[in-house]
Amino acid sequence: MRNQIVAGNWKMNNNTAETELLLTNLTQHSIREDVSVYVAPAFTQLSQAVSMLNGQPIKVAAQNMNAAASGAHTGEVSSSMLKGIGVQTVILGHSERRSLYGETNESLKAKVATAIEDGMEIIFCFGEELSERKENTHFDLVKEQLFTALFELPSEAWNQIILAYEPVWAIGTGETASPEQAQEMHAFIRKEIEANYDAALAENVVILYGGSVKPNNAKEIFSMVDVDGGLIGGASLNADDFMVIVNAF
């Protein structure tokens, strides 16, 4: 049985007071033992979140990191800086990082390599634009994203990888992939992993769905056999909504 995971990507939301309030509200809810929960605050709130969630069943993830260990990278943060404040997980490849900040499959390959080498856990995001789905090139596109950034990794590295399929047309739009569309892509991803590695690895890798998951649709999406949970944007900013999603398995 694969891990079930729900991760909240807070994006550039929640200052100190708002983080305190949201985390206080989140920790008042009980969380099933068979579900792993993450929150990903902005860099400035990571230490606060680590400290507030000490001893709680909620892990803290960063939303990005640099591929370099240190040096002339103004505005950037390294994996050792994250680990130094107790953050062991990083989201890489979010569609907003790709579209707004020029991240490519190649640059993500470098970030992934560093994160793996430094012992970080990665939530790796990928997914097609609406135009690619309309042109029916979405499977090729997803294959390319995975191939370039991940498929040269040794099998052991996959213990540190959680995948998050996020069709760009469903992120923050209120438009969700249907459960069947999510299942179809997740099954395709497992097939590609099996072809590149082996059946056991393909069966064990956790694949989250992301894109307008809300309290009213999470159960249906999470019921799909190859969907192991969700990466949640907007709905992770409200403790009650997020916890309905966490408990939607």
Kindly indicate which of the ranges 24-32, 78-86, 133-141, 225-233 contains the residues binding ligand PEP, using the contact rule CB under 6 A.
Answer: 225-233
Sequence-separated (6 or more) residues with CB below 8 Å from residue 96: 11, 171
User: In the complex with ligand PEP, which residue's Cβ is closer, 61 or 202?
Assistant: 61
Beta strand ranges found along 166-224 (DSSP E): 206-210
Q: How far apart are CA 86 and CA 101, in angstroms?
A: 26
Site for ligand PEP contains 212 (CB under 6 A): yes
User: Is 73 noted as a catalytic residue in this protein?
Assistant: no
Catalytic residue among 96, 128, 132, 166: 166
Q: How far apart are CA 153 and CA 115, in angstroms?
A: 12
Q: How far apart are CA 62 and CA 11, in angstroms?
A: 10
User: Is 94 noted as a catalytic residue in this protein?
Assistant: yes
**Residue with CB nearest ligand PEP?**
233
Q: Which of 93, 167, 211, 229 binds ligand PEP (CB under 6 A)?
A: 211
| Whether 17 contacts 48, CB under 8 Å | no
Nearest-approach distance from CB 180 to ligand PEP, in angstroms: 18
Sequence-separated (6 or more) residues with CB below 8 Å from residue 94: 9, 63, 64, 125, 166
Site for ligand PEP contains 167 (CB under 6 A): no
Site for ligand PEP contains 231 (CB under 6 A): yes
DSSP 75: T
Site for ligand PEP contains 181 (CB under 6 A): no
Catalytic residue among 76, 94, 106, 203: 94
Helix, strand, or coil (residue 24):
helix
Using CB under 6 A as the binding rule, the residues of this chain from 8 to 27 that contact ligand PEP are 9
Q: Which residues bind ligand PEP (CB under 6 A)?
A: 9, 166, 171-172, 210-213, 231-235
